[in-house]
Structure 1
Amino acid sequence: MSAARKEIDYEDGLRLVRQLVAAGRFAVAVRWTDHLCRQRPKDPRAHNQAGLVRQRQGEPQEAAPHFRRAALLQPEAGEIWANLGRSLRLSAAIEPAFRCRRRAVLCQPEMPEMRLAYGFDLLTVGEYRAGFAEYEHRPDRNTGLARYEAAGLSAWDGRIRPNGRLIVVTEQGAGDVVQFLRFVEPLAKQGMRVTVACPRPLERVVRSAPGVEATAPLWPSGPLQGYDGVEMLLSLPNRLGIDLASLPAPARYISPPEGGYRVEPDGRLRVGVCWTGSTFTPLNPMRRIPFAELARVLDVPGLSFYGLQVLIGRRETYGEDRLVDLAPHIEDFSDTAAMVDQMDLVITVDTSIAHIAGALGKPVWTLLARVADWRWGRDGETTPWYPSMRLFRQDRQGDWAGVVDRVVSALRQRVEAPVGLAERRPFASPDPTG
């Protein structure tokens, strides 16, 4: 009877941990998992739970030993290897994380989430051809294609047809759209006529990209006819067989609209700044930098600073008269591109502004978390995606002070460099008033 009671208590304890995590009561959940690990030291479930709770607490380095213990106890469990890989990735241990996620796929190759995580690691280390193939396991692809299939349009079979008509559907955030627009032109050069379905705020930017014949609303409202198929935008690299050597990296592949608001010239170099992305993005807390920390760049003399934030983050600048707010002149991403195009330099965190500046060929300094997104690679100051971009990475996760120190130093060097203003100004679009 007592043995049966212990079994019930233990199983109830595992369920309780999941309930505590769902309620955000992590400290209590940690105590419970530690109790369960002592009660059943050879049960991998308890050790796996102990790792998951610590990972949810934002302590991946504390989580890893628990996942290792669970993996030793159940080495065939792909889920445990995937959890260990994630904790190591968040701890910036890229190579060990890569090996763990590969082990997860070998254990359970039928699990799309494990294939997707492995794909991210392949992309991080520059194995683009294999990485984009694994990236096809993302759930957004199947969901998007299903909506078009319901409208009578089948997924593209990958065949290039002269004058073939293809709908390419954008997905994820605005930065992803801008980054991957470069892959439309190679299709057009092979004779395909490409319509890009996108959200309304991105329409004008999308239409400006080479190879885009037309734009359409993101989701069909009725039957679709006259097209040879539909494909998701972020699937194009896989369709094209892109690897690191063949990655298109045009200096400039979007264009701002004609006319519109012009920044008043004052004879100084213009620096646009952006310190946060959308609060709806789960990773934004890791990417954003408090404006109070970034504001030290405003102390660098000889420069004019402009805020590129729209809606989010502007309240942090109230009372800061060294920063000109450009948000009143921005209604969509094309207006944002027009403001960015008038800057001599853009300083931004990992958000759509970075991609817009890079796609415009503007000098852009992108500030990255210690564990950055796959597209920025593992290390280094340059990226194969944007020739005009320089990367500033955290030395320690969450520490922006060192990043800002390096940005301030680089800004001072730029101001003090023996280059005349007239030679710098071509970085910005010419003022039509002369």
Structure 2
Amino acid sequence: MGVVISEFSPAFIEAFNGGAVLFQAGRFGEAAETFRRLAGEHPGVAALHGNLGLSLRAAGRPEEALEPLRQALRLRPAYPDALNALGGILLDQRNLDHALIAFQALVKLKHDYPGALLTLGNLFMFTGDGERARAAYRLAILAEPDIGTNYNNLGAVSLSLGHPHEAARQYRRALAIEVGKPEYRKNLGTCLLMAGDYPNGTVAYEGRLEQPVWRKRNMPGVLWQGQPLEGRTLLVHFEQGLGDSFQYIRYAGVLKRMGARVLYECQPALKRVLSTAPDLDGLFAFGEPLPAYDYHVSLMSLMHRLGTTPDTVPGGVPYLRAEPELAARWAERLDRLEDGRRPGLRVGINWHGNETGKSIPLECFEAMGRLPGVRLYSLQKVSGLDHLERLRDRVRVTELGSDFDAGPDAFLDTAAVMANLDLVITCDTSVCHLAGAMGRPTWVVLKWFADWRWMRDRLDSPWYPTMRLFRQATSNDWAEVMARVTADVAAEAAARAASPAGWEMPR
């Protein structure tokens, strides 16, 4: 915050310096009023408009700051502080295109402006240009080699571009600068897990538990870190999404064989569907009173504590099952929907997830819905139903009614329906984990840069033996991968039509 003020009056200089002092003291609103008055008296001075904008932004009034910053840049285009502040506000507003313009101008003007190249790289990441993001982060490292975030973000974009070994190297460089930082440890862990290095990956992934953003559980008692379990009670508690409970509840059997009495504290909505899991001595919804226990451990830490590798993933399938009476009721209901004419292939589809980039456009199921002998059933709940409304005339998919999984217990109907289907096709959501845990034939369609648990390049999963993985060939190209899925569905339907007796979906 500065300006050449020698040509101005002593009163102006005193007022200007007073505004600067107020700003430095954190009295941003008062500083803004000072610079607003001075800018009114001297409208041709870029620094006055710039300082007004900087003060308003610091005061938490970014909308008001926009016009003074723009005016400052009209008067002085080469104004780094104003470009940085304007770009930052636009970024906060998710106006990515204009923020990108601002930071490109800033980097061109002053490439070593603190944090500018890092932010430019972030903007390229946000707009899906990974190669330019990687170039920006590399330049950020040259400009500011002692900033761990530069290496961390280069690691992230390298991983997203399919270079896990380079990513691991960058995460380790970040950790050399900020030793032990939980975010960097967790990121290194996901990178190594994706590459199949579970022995090192599970150790580093424990860093997630120390991240400030993590919903950390301060459980009373002793953390289990491998102590003998014979005759002891171990409380395992959930930590992340619903699908994680489906995936990792299998560890109860391992713990049981080690002599433990196993308790699991789950998400309340999952208590009933998880009640079919074997080897649990107690199942409790979060918020319910817990009995006494000797040790506690977070669910996903069991990978590390039990030394899991891709070759030693525990538990066969199924280890979760639909409730028999409910499955029977849905069998009758599906038969009525089909007027007693069972199709050759019943396919349940789930196309929409809550995370960016995971969802399959419903349009991509249009050709599949028209295949002879194939009937699609919607397993979608809540999000994504607007797509069905919009495309109902194009995509032939049978809806299961407003009462489908409408109660307080999640996935009960989903499990019962899946027990009556021949195949489940889904994106990366909780549905795929439940289907896999139930041992149902399941095809998961993955975005090009998928979650670490699906590893890289594999078309199967060590976690679910009845699962096939279909990966995008190029980023964001759902049409191509879904064309392959549709072709395979057509082949399965044709095979079943050719020999219906004793036919079984290939695993």
Please indicate, yes or no, whether the TM-score normalized by the shorter chain is above 0.5.
Answer: yes
How much does 1:220 deviate?
5.4
Q: 2:479 aligns with which of 379, 401, 422?
A: 401
Larger radius of gyration: 2
CA distance in 2, matches of 1:424, 1:87: 45
CA distance in 2, matches of 1:3, 1:294: 65
Q: 2:258 aligns with which of 178, 182, 190?
A: 190
Q: Which residue of the partner structure matches residue 14 of structure 2?
A: none
Q: Which residue of the partner structure matches residue 276 of structure 1?
A: 352
Q: Which residue of the partner structure matches residue 366 of structure 2?
A: 295
For residues 350-386 of structure 1, the C-alpha deviation after alignment (integer angstroms, 9 at most, x for no partner) is: 1111111111111111100011110111113111111
Shift of the 160–256 alpha-carbon distance from structure 1 to 2, 3 Å rule, reads farther
Q: Which residue of the partner structure matches residue 377 of structure 2?
A: 306
Q: 2:420 aligns with which of 342, 363, 382?
A: 342
SS in 2 for 1:287: coil
Q: 2:470 aligns with which of 366, 385, 392?
A: 392
CA distance in 2, matches of 1:236, 1:307: 34
SS in 1 for 2:142: helix
The percent of aligned pairs where both chains have the same amino acid is: 31
2:500 corresponds to 1:421: yes
Are the aligned partners of 1:44 and 1:69 in contact in 2 as well (CA < 8 Å)?
no
How much does 1:182 deviate?
1.4
For residues 181-207 of structure 1, the C-alpha deviation after alignment (integer angstroms, 9 at most, x for no partner) is: 111210011111111111222112322
Structure 2 matches for 1:134-153, cutoff 5 A? Answer: 134-139=204-209, 146-149=217-220, 153=221
Shift of the 422–183 alpha-carbon distance from structure 1 to 2, 3 Å rule, reads same
Q: Which residue of the partner structure matches residue 297 of structure 2?
A: 231
CA distance in 2, matches of 1:391, 1:155: 36
Shift of the 69–162 alpha-carbon distance from structure 1 to 2, 3 Å rule, reads same
Deviates more, 1:366-375 or 1:166-175: 166-175
SS in 1 for 2:137: helix
Q: Which residue of the partner structure matches residue 22 of structure 1?
A: 92
Q: Which residue of the partner structure matches residue 432 of structure 1?
A: none
Shift of the 397–323 alpha-carbon distance from structure 1 to 2, 3 Å rule, reads same
Q: 1:376 aligns with which of 448, 454, 478?
A: 454
Q: Which amino acid is 1:107 matched to?
A: I
For residues 76-111 of structure 1, the C-alpha deviation after alignment (integer angstroms, 9 at most, x for no partner) is: 322101111112223333333232223222332221
How much does 1:13 deviate?
3.9
SS in 2 for 1:166: strand
Shift of the 343–77 alpha-carbon distance from structure 1 to 2, 3 Å rule, reads same
CA distance in 1, matches of 2:502, 2:388: 31
Q: Which residue of the partner structure matches residue 266 of structure 1?
A: 341
Shift of the 363–146 alpha-carbon distance from structure 1 to 2, 3 Å rule, reads closer
Shift of the 255–141 alpha-carbon distance from structure 1 to 2, 3 Å rule, reads farther
SS in 2 for 1:247: coil
CA distance in 1, matches of 2:372, 2:167: 44
Q: Which residue of the partner structure matches residue 431 of structure 1?
A: none
Are the aligned partners of 1:148 and 1:220 in contact in 2 as well (CA < 8 Å)?
no
Q: Which residue of the partner structure matches residue 399 of structure 2?
A: 325
Q: 2:195 aligns with which of 114, 121, 125?
A: 125
Q: Which amino acid is 1:417 matched to?
A: A
Are the aligned partners of 1:105 and 1:118 in contact in 2 as well (CA < 8 Å)?
no
How much does 1:218 deviate?
1.4
Q: 1:316 aligns with which of 387, 390, 412?
A: 387
Are the aligned partners of 1:368 and 1:392 in contact in 2 as well (CA < 8 Å)?
yes
CA distance in 2, matches of 1:137, 1:208: 32
Structure 2 matches for 1:93-104, cutoff 5 A? Answer: 93-104=163-174
Structure 2: 5+ residue runs without aligned partners?
Answer: 6-46, 52-78
How much does 1:179 deviate?
1.0
CA distance in 2, matches of 1:425, 1:73: 60
How much does 1:425 deviate?
6.0
2:304 corresponds to 1:245: no
CA distance in 2, matches of 1:59, 1:243: 33
Are the aligned partners of 1:195 and 1:214 in contact in 2 as well (CA < 8 Å)?
yes
SS in 2 for 1:325: coil
Shift of the 139–226 alpha-carbon distance from structure 1 to 2, 3 Å rule, reads closer
CA distance in 2, matches of 1:141, 1:213: 31
SS in 1 for 2:324: coil
- Provide TM-score, normalisation by structure 1: 0.88
Structure 2 matches for 1:169-208, cutoff 5 A? Answer: 169-208=237-276
How many residues align structurally?
417
How much does 1:59 deviate?
2.4
Are the aligned partners of 1:366 and 1:391 in contact in 2 as well (CA < 8 Å)?
yes
How much does 1:39 deviate?
2.6
Deviates more, 1:77-86 or 1:409-418: 409-418
SS in 2 for 1:259: helix
CA distance in 2, matches of 1:272, 1:413: 17
Greater relative contact order (Cα < 8 A, sep 6+):
1
How much does 1:215 deviate?
1.1
2:142 corresponds to 1:78: no
Q: Which amino acid is 2:121 matched to?
A: G
Q: Which amino acid is 2:168 matched to?
A: F
Structure 2 matches for 1:210-229, cutoff 5 A? Answer: 210-219=278-287, 226-229=292-295
Deviates more, 1:337-346 or 1:309-318: 309-318
Q: 1:159 aligns with which of 223, 227, 232?
A: 227
- Provide TM-score, normalisation by structure 2: 0.76
SS in 1 for 2:357: helix
CA distance in 1, matches of 2:102, 2:254: 55
